[in-house]
Structure 1
Amino acid sequence: MFGHYKITGLLGRGGMGEVYRAEDTKKGRTVALKILAEQFWQDDKFRSRFQRESRAAAILQEPHVIPIHDWGEIDGHPYIDMRLVDGQTLQQLLAAGPLDPARAALLISGVAAALDAAHAAGLVHRDVKPQNIIVTPSDFPYLVDFGIAETKGDSGLTATGMQIGTFDYMAPERFSGQEVTPAADVYSLACVLCECLTGTAPFAKSSLEQKVSAHLMAPPPRPSAVNPGVPAAFDEVIARGMAKEPDDRYGSCGALGRAAQRAADSGHAMVMSSTDTMQAPAFYAARTAEPPPYAAPSTAPPMPIAPAPTARPWLLPAVIAVVGALLLGGIGVIIGFLASPGSDLPTTATLDTPDPTERQTNTRTVQPSTSGRSPRPPEDPLGVGSPPPPAVAGLDNSANPQSCEDDYYLTERSGVGTRSRRGSRETSCFFTRSVLSSYWTTYDDASREPRKVLAPGAVDCRTVLGSGSGCAGPNFVVQCVAHPGDAYITCTGGRDAVVYLY
């Protein structure tokens, strides 16, 4: 017995305590009873965290937050009485492997609703992870463990500079001691979504130092490259949800959840900007078991597309200095220098983001002619017997160089402008695809007349060209025209990028 509770079984054990199945003999109901671990009974900090969880969960009236019946102390032992939910943690669910993308999107959307409710109440969860998500047999998710939730302006539990949470899902800004905002939960939720799709955490590194460095420096993973069964549209969702800068992420967890559902529904949704989604003709980009990475248009010599890490005022001290007194999972773990000699992580950030042709709603496939996934359309140049545009041989300047000498083409169309060819050494294969997709998305036909195309790049155009006329929001402004005497359309944009359509 624990006061008026009759303990009937152990449901789980965590860093702060145990959760038991219990009978409330006063009210005659079965509950889940969370009791602070004995070693923390005399620890004021952990007692405060435990009480904080009680208050935080109690004020939230959201279906995806388990209702709190009561909380307090019995014989000096803090406890929380909550509804007993029949289910398993998402971590247990993922032990069997990655989830179906549609199922993953559904679960993440439910958790997102709980987080948005917490954010509306001024709370940031700070420890979103599969262990803190309970999934019922009917796939209804619950978010639990608000023990390290923080209200705006409240940093009492971390005033010493310790970081509380789980490093597999921790946002980059949290390593610098910045004020924690809801954007940190967006990042963590995107990490959980990535794990749902791939079966592994985003940066499953062998050491703590490498894991922290990856969150700070490495590009977000591409789920479709890890699991061929994942629609490539999820790559963009993860890339934005796990953006290094908080302002570059989705504006809410709900927005992330909705984007995930669109990706699952269509398999090829393309987010054109933070507010607009472009509707496009049908492109299904054929994926191989190991899709090639893509990079936005670059200049020669090769340079990172994303801003250098030193541009982030909060990142430099976090990378160069010693990370002091980081708290892992609620237990203090001191780690030394952030990046040890021999680390296999990059020292500069080059975003590895999805092919925009694979993110478009109701779009046609743009695929290499060697894929074998669909028949090659017949030749149909602008002029009968006219030569094709000049080709650039060799690898491009991507972070992971690739060759696209076989060009790209639309699988459901043939004729003028339905093929694209890389036209300069500064042009990436990624951009060669993107321009073809965007041209047909915008005009649905080909013309010799001058036309302007807004083509997505692997990163926000403004991170490459600034806010000048070469960008239209996050997209690159590309000018396309068939010059006199040419039997093809020449498209130019970005940094000396050239794409031929023929």
Structure 2
Amino acid sequence: MLTQLGPYQIQEEIGKGGMGTVYRAYHPALDRHVAIKVLPARLSGDNNFLERFKREAQIIARLEHPHILPVYDFAYDREIAYLVMKLVKGSSLTSRIGNKGMAPAEAMSILHAVGDALSHAHLRNIIHRDIKPDNILIDDNGSVYLSDFGMAKMVTGTDSTGGFIMGTPEYMAPEQAKGSKGVDSRADVYSLSIVVFQMLSGSIPFRGENPIATIKKLLDEPLPDITTRNPLLPKMVDLLLQKGAAKNPAERFSDVLEMVSTMEAVFTGTNEVITSEVTASKQKIVVVPFICRLPEKSWMSVAMQEMLVMDLSQTAGLFLFSPDHVTRMCRNILEPNSQWTAGPLQRLFELSRADYV
């Protein structure tokens, strides 16, 4: 039984899947409990794996976002490759989805957080490749974390899989299932659409008797209308999920934030109670970039914005738009180096649909 990895004392196994085994561990030097993901043992004999592991782990560790699970460390000890991550006290999205799904307000809050995290990664040319409820963690305060970034690429080693399919069939984009080259961020849009389908209906659209049968279904069969499984949903949701989970990547939303904002508009644009459940949504907050008049200290404008977002995002009940998302919205509203006035602020408030700016 594994008891020690480097400076980390292994305490118990807390999860296991195709990408490896997760343990709860203790780091005495920092007096901190962490989660350690040990990658599959079969990779220890791969001569190319160690270099690939280091390269991908460094990229993942640089992803800093309120809704991306932080990676603290990575190492290769006694032919065991492992990643050290934040230990989340809570559960995965899987355990939150009931047989009838979730209230739309709760589902949209989670979608907003995951979409923002994915957008942050996509802008840095990092694709997740394995979006599913098991990889979306929710702590006891309601904070949402997307985990396992880049694990599929780390294990398979290339952008294409060379004929080896890595991922979870029920959520896998068709181009991934085919082992196609050039898989891009639109594969994550597909997978996230399937997660939304499950959150709102309590079921997944494609499931066969085995993984191969599931893949055949997702390749050959059209996406079922979600309103046949949850008639209380607006019919527009059918159209949005058909677009997000289109077989052809070119027919999907080109950007995950476009998908999130469009989906959100369907629910915020109606006064009806969509389900019998009443769930309080998080207060959405936009922190605009600061303006610094001293050129030599211009870096402070972004630093102040990011620090405020990081601090406020720790408060339960608040959802913070990422600085990247806000910057993209601001480009359509405010001229470069212009000051914020009432007019642009009002337009930003309407565009973002935030509760506070």
How would you bin the TM-score normalised by the shorter chain? 0.5 to 0.7
Separation in 1, partners of 2:71, 2:84: 6
Q: Map of 1:18-417 to 2, 5 A cutoff?
A: 18-44=21-47, 50-51=53-54, 54-94=57-97, 97-148=100-151, 150=153, 156=158, 158=160, 160-174=162-176, 175=178, 177-267=180-270
Amino acid at match of 1:8: Q
Deviation at 1:241, TM superposition (A): 0.4
Aligned to 1:5: 8
Q: CA deviation at 1:71?
A: 1.0
Q: For structure 1, which runs of at least 5 residues remain unmatched after alignment? A: 269-283, 287-502
Shift of 1:164: 1.5
Tell me the matched-pair count.
269
Change (3 A) 1:176 1:218: same
Gaps of 5+ in 2: 275-357
Q: Decide whether aligned partners of structure 1 residues 67 and 196 sit closer, same or farther in structure 2, where only a CA change above 3 A counts.
A: same
TM-fit CA distance, 1:147: 4.1
**1:333 counterpart residue number:** none
Residue 107 of structure 1, CA deviation: 0.7
The alpha carbon displacement at 1:160 in A equals 2.6
Shift of 1:25: 1.0
Displacement of 1:78 in angstroms is: 1.7
User: What is the CA–CA distance in structure 2 between the aligned matches of 1:69 and 1:130, rounded to whole Å?
Assistant: 23
Change (3 A) 1:23 1:159: closer
Residue 171 of structure 1, CA deviation:
1.5
Letter in 1 for 2:165: Q
Find the aligned partners of 1:46 and 1:17 in 2 and give their Cα distance.
15
Residue 95 and residue 14 in structure 1: after superposition, are their counterparts in 2 closer, same or farther (change >3 A)? farther
- Alpha-carbon deviations, 1:35-87, whole Å to 9, x = none? 23445433446656654552232121111111111111233322211111112
> Percent identity over the alignment?
33
Backbone CA RMSD of aligned residues: 2.8
Q: 1:76 to 1:217 in 2, by over 3 A?
A: closer
Distance 1:173 1:158 in 2: 10
Distance 1:263 1:54, change over 3 A: same
Deviation at 1:170, TM superposition (A): 1.5
What code does the residue aligned with 1:54 have?
A: A
Cα separation, 2, equivalents of 1:47 and 1:241: 35
Shift, 1:94, TM fit: 2.2
**Normalising by structure 2, what TM-score?**
0.67
Distance 1:16 1:212, change over 3 A: closer
CA distance in 1, matches of 2:66, 2:47: 31
- Max radius of gyration: which structure? 1
Normalized per residue, the structure richer in helix is 2
2:60–2:150 Cα contact (<8 Å) kept? no
